[in-house]
């Protein structure tokens, strides 16, 4: 059944988390940030490694230019629209789509919502979003994430981890703190994958 499933990492954190997943399931790293192609493959649409069935896709090249959506969820929605033909091609043959992300950024908020709508509403596929939600320390990002989170729940199934500031201490770097968040989302993703294969 896992052959019918595709895991799509969305935005910086979504792709970072997906990169840590050890699985034979097909992966797609998707971001408005051109860096995605350097980080997760040797170039557009090349496999990350021979042992993994993984592809990368930079979306919204025309609309975002050299940059990512840079906290602009509306721009990321437009990026999905711009790259829709390429995205649809990647989704051919998959019935279950798992969107892996961490809400709060432009791409994670905008592209996840737009993709969920396309995959569920237009393509009628099974869609599950597995996401982290920013802690209250992130202020307006946390508020923006909450707004998208509520909207996503009206579209498809959403599994989430609420980041908790008590997980971190003052000695930790930001990267160390977010690596803890990665682990929590990975555990949740593992459960979702295992419950459906
Ligand atoms: N788990 C995890 N979460 C992260 C990490 N870095 C940032 N986040 C969280 O993810 C949210 C979205 O951040 P990014 O993934 O950087 O945003 P993006 O989707 O790339 O958005 P733009 O760059 O604005 O287009 C943030 O508000 C944080 O809560 C990380 O390394 N791991
Ligand atoms: Mg980004």
Rounded to an integer, the average pLDDT of 117-140 is: 96
For the chain, the distance separating the N- and C-terminal CA atoms, rounded to the nearest angstrom, is: 6
> What per-residue confidence (pLDDT) applies to 197?
60
* Confidence grade of residue 48 (pLDDT, cut at 50, 70, 90): low
Rounded to an integer, the average pLDDT of 63-76 is: 98
CA–CA dist 162, 65 (Å, integer): 32
**Number of structural domains, the chain?**
1
Domain span at residue 21 reads 2-196
Rounded to an integer, the average pLDDT of 167-173 is: 91
> What per-residue confidence (pLDDT) applies to 53?
87
> What per-residue confidence (pLDDT) applies to 3?
81
Determine the residue of 30, 34, 105, 147 to mutate for testing ligand 1's pocket, defined as the one with the most ligand atoms within 8 A of the Cβ atom.
Answer: 105
Rounded to an integer, the average pLDDT of 113-142 is: 97
Mean pLDDT of the chain, nearest integer: 93
* Inter-residue long-range contacts of 120-127, CB under 8 Å, 24+ positions, other chains counted: 120/155, 120/156, 121/155, 123/88, 123/91, 125/91, 125/94, 125/95, 125/96, 125/97, 126/95, 126/96, 126/97, 127/96, 127/97, 127/98, 127/99, 127/155, 127/156, 127/157
* Confidence grade of residue 1 (pLDDT, cut at 50, 70, 90): low
> What per-residue confidence (pLDDT) applies to 52?
66
CATH number for 131: 3.40.50.1440
In this model, does residue 32 exceed pLDDT 60?
yes
Lining ligand 1 with CB less than 6 A are 11-13, 16-17, 32-33, 68-71, 76, 102, 104-108, 132, 134, 138, 141, 178, 181-182, 185
**Gyration radius of the chain's alpha carbons:** 16
In this model, does residue 133 exceed pLDDT 60?
yes
CA distances from 109 to 11, 20, 24, 51, 186 (A): 9, 21, 27, 31, 19
* Confidence grade of residue 47 (pLDDT, cut at 50, 70, 90): very low
Determine the residue of 102, 114, 139 to mutate for testing ligand 1's pocket, defined as the one with the most ligand atoms within 8 A of the Cβ atom.
Answer: 102
Q: Kindly report the pTM of this predicted structure.
A: 0.95
Secondary structure class of 184 (helix, strand, coil)? helix
The more confident residue out of 24 and 142 is 142
């Amino acid at each position: 059944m896992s052959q019918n499933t595709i895991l799509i990492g969305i935005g910086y954190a979504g792709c970072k988390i997906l990169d840590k997943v050890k699985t034979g399931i097909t992966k797609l790293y998707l971001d408005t940030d051109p860096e995605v192609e350097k980080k997760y493959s040797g170039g557009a649409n090349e496999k990350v490694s021979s042992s993994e069935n993984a592809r990368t896709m930079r979306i919204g090249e025309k609309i975002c230019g050299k940059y990512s959506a840079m906290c602009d969820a509306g721009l990321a929605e437009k990026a999905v629209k711009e790259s829709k033909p390429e995205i649809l091609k990647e989704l051919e043959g998959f019935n279950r789509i798992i969107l892996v992300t961490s809400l709060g950024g432009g791409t994670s908020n905008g592209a996840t919502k737009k993709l969920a709508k396309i995959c569920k509403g237009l393509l009628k596929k099974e869609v599950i979003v597995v996401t982290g939600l920013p802690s209250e320390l992130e202020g307006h990002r946390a508020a923006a994430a909450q707004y998208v989170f509520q909207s996503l729940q009206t579209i498809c199934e959403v599994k989430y981890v609420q980041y908790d500031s008590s997980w971190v201490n003052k000695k930790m770097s930001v990267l160390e703190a977010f690596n803890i968040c990665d682990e929590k989302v990975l555990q949740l993703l593992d459960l979702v994958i295992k419950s459906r294969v």
